A and B are shown apart, each in its own frame.
Chain A
Amino acid sequence: MKMTFILPLLAGVLAAPALAQNQDLGDPPADLLGDGGAVEDIAIEGEDDGPLRGTVTDESDWEDLGIAIPAFATDRDRQTPANADGTAALGREIARVITANLRNNGLFQPTGPDRLPTPGFAQITDPAWGSWGGRGAEMLVHGYVRARGDDRLVVGCYLYDVALQDELIREGWVVRPADWRRAAHKCSDLIYARLTGEDPFFDSRIAYIAETGPKDNRVKRLAVMDSDGANHRFLTLGSATALTPRYSPDYSKILYLSYVDGNPRIYVYDIGSGRQTLVTQNSSPTIAPRWSPDGRHILYSMAVAGNTDIYRVPASGGRSVRLTDTPGIDIGGSYSPDGRQIVFESDRSGTQQCYVMNADGTNQRRITFFGGRCATPEWSPRGDQIAFTRIAGDFNVAVMTPAGRNLRVLTNGWQDEAPTWAPNGRIIQFFRTTRNAGRSSLWQVDLTGRNERRLPTPVDASDPAWGPIRP
């Protein structure tokens, strides 16, 4: 089934470990953070009067909105490193990525380029309204790809209202050929944000743990991928168990736990240099790493003589500050978006429950009082919700307000664990473990609980950590 896809990926990694520094690390993935990786916004051609303002449709029915996404046109079919068949083929690929983004997330009813006629370059700014109106599409996405002389690509993205026969919004980007998917994600974000009024989320990445092998001898490796599963990389080789990664807000580093020295320890892995350092020089085990929203601080939990508490250390290094001091297990911690508060997990009351404290550790108070237990709380990037693992017999992903009210259970698997938020706070990823076999996979669910789907990964997967919108 998926094996044909898995084997080339594994083979590529197995061939690579020559530069590993006895840290279980693979080659530094320079392509993840190379020069000129930034996407440049540019003004693109369009109608003179600019984008329309106003609400297109109310939230109750935008999920049924028909959107036609034909292939992006090209001014001239040229060679590009982004696609062996040239810029015209690339334009079709971009439209496919956008279609998959919108469809997979249950957001709209998109129709992709393989079921639509391909518009000419001149029609991108002057749609053939008659032919689109007859297809039942309410919205029309047009775009183009142009290979620039300096080897970069210009990608334009246009959203039209078919009934109004007018442009809603347009945007353009200059990208390296290797980053062509980012242009597709940015176009997806443009469409999504314009039609829903929500913040974007597609142009983001996910760190997670790739799992292989039998239940009693599981290999757990650090891996990263785009929000749609593309550009997948294994970052560790698998000789040491890796767990619980967290991308830094600027995507330059990953915090994660590794047993590479035989003990559970949190490392700061620098993606650019491919090197990693201990989060703190201490002989005690460190677990459960988290970034502050501005990336300037790191939370970690440390077990001293068996008693686990939460500590904060500057990301640049320096002295650690202990934030909790109860004899129970205090662990984890997720900052509110403004950085002022931290929601964390503690069993000081006898069972795992969620607590909120100020960022300096003061004013610790329990917020969960419903039946069951509260574990792995994660504050929404919007600030209005906290997602957590609810343990009440089975494990399920649930949300509540920061005051611990309005509990809503969103999933019903046997063991759904460790929620992580989409950058816009509208979708939650988590991992689901099967009973007996212990197979794990990544899933996501929206805040309605209605749109749940599995994310494709090359092998089993756990501990997803969704990063913010890419800089």
Chain B
Amino acid sequence: MTIAVSKTAAAVLMTSALALGACAKKAPEELPPVQQTTTTPTPTPTAAVPSGPSVGSQQHFEQAVGSSSVIYFDTDRFNIDSSDAAALQAQAQYFARFPQLTFTIEGHCDERGTREYNLALGERRANAAKNYLVSLGVSPDRIRTVSYGKERPVALSSTAAAWAQNRRAASIIIN
């Protein structure tokens, strides 16, 4: 059921995305693999985090979804691919469990784009992640988006691997 919904949503998003030309396969190898366990139905939150960070903190969110708090994009792209979809499903499940939480999706780009274009591209990425989460049932009223363009890299070298880590949409719970 949830899989069918997400496939439809992915198809819609893909077609609305620009059909861009040739483009390197993404996913740098140093990225942690997408968690395969996130489809496990309804683990109770208290069982998952017995005595760690409290609900409503970024730590709690990251402990629950692992590396799925961030999704990654190919150069100049903003489409949600299958690994992004899996990560966003994990996020959607978390936010379904804690409906009181609001959060921000930050859109980011690598340094190999011009500054203003990257601000616009970061907007696209943040909104692509938001739209996908909304398609999975998260209320849009709970999601704020902000683009930082290329202004806030996490990987600092000028290599293809670093750029792949910086092309991201990161979900952040701001207390």
Contacts and interface: CB of A to CB of B under 8 A. Distances in A.
Nearest to A217: B152
Given A331-B116, A331-B117, A415-B112, 15 more contacts: A215-B156, A264-B147, A287-B119, A306-B145, A329-B117, A347-B18, A347-B117, A350-B20, A375-B117, A389-B114, A395-B112, A415-B111, A417-B114, A418-B114, A436-B157
18 contacts: A216-B153, A257-B119, A287-B119, A303-B123, A303-B147, A306-B123, A327-B18, A331-B120, A332-B116, A350-B20, A351-B21, A352-B114, A352-B117, A376-B116, A395-B112, A417-B115, A418-B114, A438-B158
B153 to A, nearest CB: 6
A42 to B, nearest CB: 44
B16 to A, nearest CB: 8
Contacts of B14: none
B175 to A, nearest CB: 14
B117 A345 contact: yes
A329 B114 contact: no
Contacts of B168: none
B154 A216 contact: yes
B81 interface: no
B127 interface: yes
Contacts of B123: 285, 303, 306, 308
A220 B151 contact: yes
A125 interface: no
Interface in B1-36: 16, 18-21
Contact of B116 (A244, A306, A391): A244
B146 A262 contact: yes
B62 interface: no
A264 B119 contact: yes
A306 B124 contact: yes
Which 5 pairs from chain A and chain B are nearest by CB? A306-B127, A303-B123, A308-B120, A375-B114, A435-B158
Q: Which of A218, A285, A389 has its CB near the most chain B CB atoms (within 10 A)? A: A285
Q: Which of B76, B116, B124 has its CB near the most chain A CB atoms (within 10 A)? A: B116
Interface string A228-252: 0000000000000101100000000
Given A395-B114, A436-B158, A305 B146 contact: no
A463 interface: yes
The number of chain B residues touching the other chain, given as a range, is 20 to 34
A396 to B, nearest CB: 12
Contacts of A375: 114, 117
B35 to A, nearest CB: 26
Contacts of B115: 243-244, 417-418, 462-463
Contact of A216 (B16, B18, B120, B152): B152
Nearest to A301: B120
Interface string B90-132: 0000000000000000000001101111011101101110010
Interface string A276-288: 0000000001011
Interface of B: 16, 18-21, 76, 78, 111-112, 114-117, 119-121, 123-124, 126-128, 131, 145-147, 149, 151-154, 156-158
Contacts of B156: 214-216, 436, 438
Contacts of B151: 218, 220, 241, 243
A351 B21 CA distance: 8
Contacts of B119: 243, 257, 264, 285, 287-288
A288 B127 contact: no
A443 to B, nearest CB: 16
Nearest to A348: B18
Given A216-B156, A305-B127, A350-B18, A263 B146 contact: yes
Nearest to B119: A287
A246 to B, nearest CB: 12
Contacts of B147: 264, 285, 303
Nearest to A286: B119
A350 B126 CA distance: 19
Contacts of B112: 395, 415
Interface string A373-392: 00110000000000001010
Nearest to B152: A216
Interface in A153-199: none
A420 interface: no
A329 B121 contact: yes
A327 B18 CA distance: 8
B141 to A, nearest CB: 13
A186 to B, nearest CB: 34
Contacts of A352: 114, 117
Given A215-B153, A262-B146, A350-B20, A301 B116 contact: yes
Nearest to B128: A306
Contacts of B114: 352, 375-376, 389, 391, 395, 417-418
B83 to A, nearest CB: 21
A328 B18 contact: yes
B120 A303 contact: yes
Contacts of B145: 306
A351 B76 contact: yes
Nearest to A284: B123
